């Protein structure tokens, strides 16, 4: 087990009716004028925004609104938020939404007190030393941003989708987790969120660090719980306990707990971010395509941890690691496809003509010539993994095109 | 799943050499003059105390010492600490030790700013509203006090052993967890600590609350990890990874994570506290006797959760709950006895002539006429559970004594 510092001081207010405590929780952060950040009209039309706004104003907190956050949130709205926030002299942020909204709020919170360009934090030019307090009312579980110090923003000009990780300065001060707010999520949104959670667990699970039994078991436990409750929430979107377990798993999957004492991989997120940036695919759906492909590649190159996962989570019985890993991948694919109704290929994801050359080039441009810690991948490896995401028909088309352009040798 | 608030703002500095960061971490709490609380001469003789004292003084922090904490810590030393702390005008505490030391430090931290008698907090007459910051350097994992808001103190006069639970005000500000500091623990100390961790998990696991899949799985995962690493630490006390997993499990078992969203039972701790208070037994060893007896009683009265535990943690295959529960108890007894070398009866615990009448009377005097939430127990039930802890020879002696004193009926 490696050395680590773990500091996760977010207060979680969990359960039915917890939305009502938003005013008091914001008050306790010391903020007097907050910017409410939100995304779709959903929070407006169903009355969330009005109720929360009123609860803040009732306690003497001024409110500034910033709506319009889109999935795969972009830098332009962050710049707008920073300008607006400085103009109106805000001293705190409240995100009402899912990961895109929370990440936008975090970027604004770090950007307002910073003299330079907030993008410096994302491209690694600067470290966040100061940030306004951020509170969260979660409406879409999945990103785990409600309990993490991380954020992901896309540069609209270059389509670079980059992550910022901080130890604790960008962890929300509080997060209101009311499972009833998630009843109206569609099956697609619910499933994408679950894949995102599973991926947050797996990115940390696939580690070269040995002697991490506690963290491995926590990760496997969260996965088993998600696999158990997911079909219940999809069958009945108002199944409170299923929604509640999913919501809490979202937070625990990404608040650092499943990464304590180990190196973390994060290759699949990097590979998916290229897909999202180039083709605008939904993050969770993209991960459902990327992760099994990466695991399938690992089954042939470093199967040990994939095999352990299969044995412990899916009860796979194969004794040799490669067979167990192959079966684990099949079980994941079956779960993603049959239960979550997720795509398993780029074609099913809507990427009909993927430019694998470009994906590989941008991936290594962003992340360096070798990526991953569980297993180091060069562009030769990542190309093969992207190719594993192709549909049979796409593979045939690519082979035909290659044959046509190859010099005749017979 | 029930509503809950989860706020666990302790900073954990984990790993080899983390002891060196004690000075800086104490400095960051803002304390200028701290009382170092410790127990046995161990921390003095091996140089811990001197090294830590020097790291504090090097950073300009004054130090006051309070040694001599004993297992099952008593109120008298707390009163002494409060007097000394007020006299010397301390503004923080640093506990170097295990649960007894940390709990003594917490009681002093709450007692110093309080106008009344600190015991008010333990007997339920008052709530902690204010406390000095407490830091921890952990040398004996088990109590989980390094990450919890709880403390247990024994009234020396009445031998009442009572718990104080706070949401977060008594959670340590930081905890230094250096697994190498635990290399010198004896097999007995190590095993007692592991039983304590397992019990902290089980007290929360045995809940009547339904729909708590995530928390159940985390609990089961921690148990499996402990069962896996325990024999390694006992076979080789300097097995770093085994020690590290045990240390981190100690914290996670009791920082509230395995109790989120559910009622918690705590009957076995209450039953053990009576044993410790009356007979001075080691807490962990007492729990090794109490928990299997309580689970065996549950196997006949409410087997469902014991059966789930057996199936998921020990791979028990029995399909009916009662058989599965009975097998789970047998597995726990085997692990406690064969691996951890713990006693399984009161006699083996050194309680040769247990006064069950007195134990039952004091238990219900402290906890009310009915205790437990997983299954409500009256004094009739708790008497039978205490009787399940008797050795065959003790049982025969009690039966003979009862027969001798019974009126002859021909």
CATH classification of the domain holding A230: 1.20.1090.10
Q: B127 and B34, same structural domain? A: yes
Residue B410 has pLDDT above 60, yes or no: no
Helix (H) or strand (E) holding A94: strand A92-97
B339 to chain A, any CB pair closer than 8 A? The answer is: no
What is the CATH number for A44? 3.40.50.1970
If one counts the domains in chain A, the total is 2
Residue A295: inside a domain, yes or no?
yes
* pLDDT tens sequence across B146-165: 999 999 999 999 878 888 99
Q: How many helices (H) and strands (E) does chain A have?
A: 16, 9
Q: A191 and A157, same structural domain? A: no
Range list of β-strands (E), A70-189: 92-97, 134-138, 150-154, 161-165, 174-177
* pLDDT tens sequence across A212-239: 999 999 999 999 999 999 999 999 999 9
Q: A117 and A233, same structural domain? A: no
Which of A182, A208, A235 marks a domain boundary?
A: A182
The residue segments making up the domain with residue A374 are 187-398
3-state secondary structure of A386: helix
CB contact under 8 A, A242 and B7: no
The answer to whether the beta carbons of residues A35 and A88 sit under 8 Å apart is: yes
Q: B293 and B237, same structural domain? A: yes
3-state secondary structure of B97: strand
Looking up tokens 């406390």 gives: B131
- Give A1→chain B minimum CA distance, Å: 6
Which of A182, A198, A229 marks a domain boundary?
A: A182
Percent of chain B at pLDDT > 70 equals 99
B248 to chain A, any CB pair closer than 8 A? The answer is: yes
* pLDDT tens sequence across A112-171: 999 999 999 999 999 999 999 999 999 999 999 999 999 999 999 987 888 899 988 999
Q: A195 and A174, same structural domain? A: no
Residue A320: inside a domain, yes or no?
yes
Q: B286 and B236, same structural domain? A: yes
Q: A215 and A346, same structural domain? A: yes
As a whole number of angstroms, the distance between CA A382 and CA B208 comes to 49
Select from A8, A210, A218 the Cβ nearest to the Cβ of B8.
A8
pLDDT confidence tier of residue B404, bands split at 50, 70 and 90 = confident
Average pLDDT for chain B:
94
Average pLDDT for chain A:
94
What tokens does B130 get? 């204010």
Residue A114: inside a domain, yes or no?
yes
Residue A405: inside a domain, yes or no?
no
As a whole number of angstroms, the distance between CA B329 and CA B331 comes to 5
CB contact under 8 A, B15 and A8: no
CA B125 to chain centre: 23
Q: A351 and A206, same structural domain? A: yes
Residue B172: inside a domain, yes or no?
yes
Residue B406: inside a domain, yes or no?
no
- Pairing between strand B11-14 and B174-177? parallel
* pLDDT tens sequence across A70-93: 988 999 999 999 999 999 999 999
Q: What angle do CA B311, B312, B316 make, to 5 degrees?
A: 25
Q: A268 and A305, same structural domain? A: yes
* pLDDT tens sequence across B203-229: 999 999 999 999 999 999 999 999 999
User: Measured between beta carbons, which residues in chain A are less than 8 angstroms from residue B6?
Assistant: 11-12, 14
Nearest to A275 by CA among A352, A188, A375, A165: A352
Its pTM stands at 0.95
CB contact under 8 A, A222 and B218: yes
Residue B204: inside a domain, yes or no?
yes
Q: B349 and B309, same structural domain? A: yes
State how far the alpha carbon of A313 is from the alpha carbons of A343, A375, B181, B219, B311, in Å: 22, 22, 34, 15, 14
Select from B15, B214, B248 the Cβ nearest to the Cβ of A225.
B214
Residue B344: inside a domain, yes or no?
yes
Q: B248 and B151, same structural domain? A: no
Residues 250-289 of B with CB under 8 A from A: 252, 257, 260-261
User: Measured between beta carbons, which residues in chain A are less than 8 angstroms from residue B1?
Assistant: 15, 179, 240-241, 244-245, 248
ipTM score: 0.94
Alpha helices in A207-320 (DSSP H): 213-235, 240-254, 267-279, 283-301, 304-314
Residue A407 has pLDDT above 70, yes or no: no
Select from B5, B11, B242 the Cβ nearest to the Cβ of A13.
B5
- Pairing between strand A62-66 and A134-138? unpaired
Q: What is the pLDDT of residue A399?
A: 83
Residue A115 has what DSSP assignment? S
Q: B138 and B57, same structural domain? A: yes
What tokens does A166 get? 């901080």
Which of A182, A205, A222 marks a domain boundary?
A: A182
């Amino acid at each position: 087990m490696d050395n680590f510092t773990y500091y996760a001081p977010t207060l979680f207010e969990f359960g039915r009716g917890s939305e009502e405590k938003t005013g008091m929780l914001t008050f306790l952060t010391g903020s007097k004028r907050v910017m409410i950040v939100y995304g779709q009209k959903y929070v407006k039309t169903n009355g969330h925004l009005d109720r929360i706004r009123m609860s803040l104003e009732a306690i003497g907190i001024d409110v500034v609104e910033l709506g319009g956050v889109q999935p795969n949130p972009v830098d332009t709205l962050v710049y707008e938020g920073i300008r607006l926030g400085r103009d109106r002299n805000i001293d705190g942020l409240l995100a009402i939404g899912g990961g895109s909204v929370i990440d936008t709020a975090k970027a604004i919170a770090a950007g307002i007190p910073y003299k330079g360009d907030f993008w410096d934090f994302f491209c690694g030019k600067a470290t966040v030393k100061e940030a306004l307090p951020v509170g969260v009312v979660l409406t879409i579980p999945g990103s785990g941003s409600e309990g993490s110090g991380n954020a992901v923003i896309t540069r609209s000009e270059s389509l670079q989708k980059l992550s910022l990780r901080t130890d604790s300065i960008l962890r929300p001060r509080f997060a209101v987790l009311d499972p009833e707010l998630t009843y109206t999520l569609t099956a697609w949104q619910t499933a994408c969120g679950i894949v995102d959670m599973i991926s947050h667990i797996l990115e940390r699970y696939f580690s070269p660090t040995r002697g991490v039994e506690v963290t491995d078991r926590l990760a496997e436990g969260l996965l088993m719980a998600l696999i158990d409750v997911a079909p219940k929430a999809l069958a009945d979107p108002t199944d409170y306990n299923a929604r509640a377990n999913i919501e809490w798993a979202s937070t625990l999957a990404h608040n650092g707990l499943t990464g304590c004492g180990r190196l973390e991989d994060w290759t699949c997120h990097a590979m998916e971010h290229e897909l999202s940036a180039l083709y605008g695919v939904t993050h969770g759906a993209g991960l459902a395509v990327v992760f099994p492909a990466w695991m399938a590649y690992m089954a042939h190159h470093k199967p040990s941890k994939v095999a352990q996962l299969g044995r412990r989570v899916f009860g796979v019985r194969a004794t040799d690691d490669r067979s167990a890993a192959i079966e684990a991948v099949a079980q994941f694919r079956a779960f993603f496809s049959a239960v979550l109704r997720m795509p398993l290929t780029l074609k099913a994801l809507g990427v009909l003509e993927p430019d694998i050359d470009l994906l590989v080039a941008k991936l290594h441009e962003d992340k360096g010539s070798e990526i991953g810690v569980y297993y180091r991948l060069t562009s030769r490896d990542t190309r093969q993994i992207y190719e594993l995401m192709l549909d049979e028909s796409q593979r045939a088309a690519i082979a035909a095109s290659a044959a046509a352009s190859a010099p005749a040798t017979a």
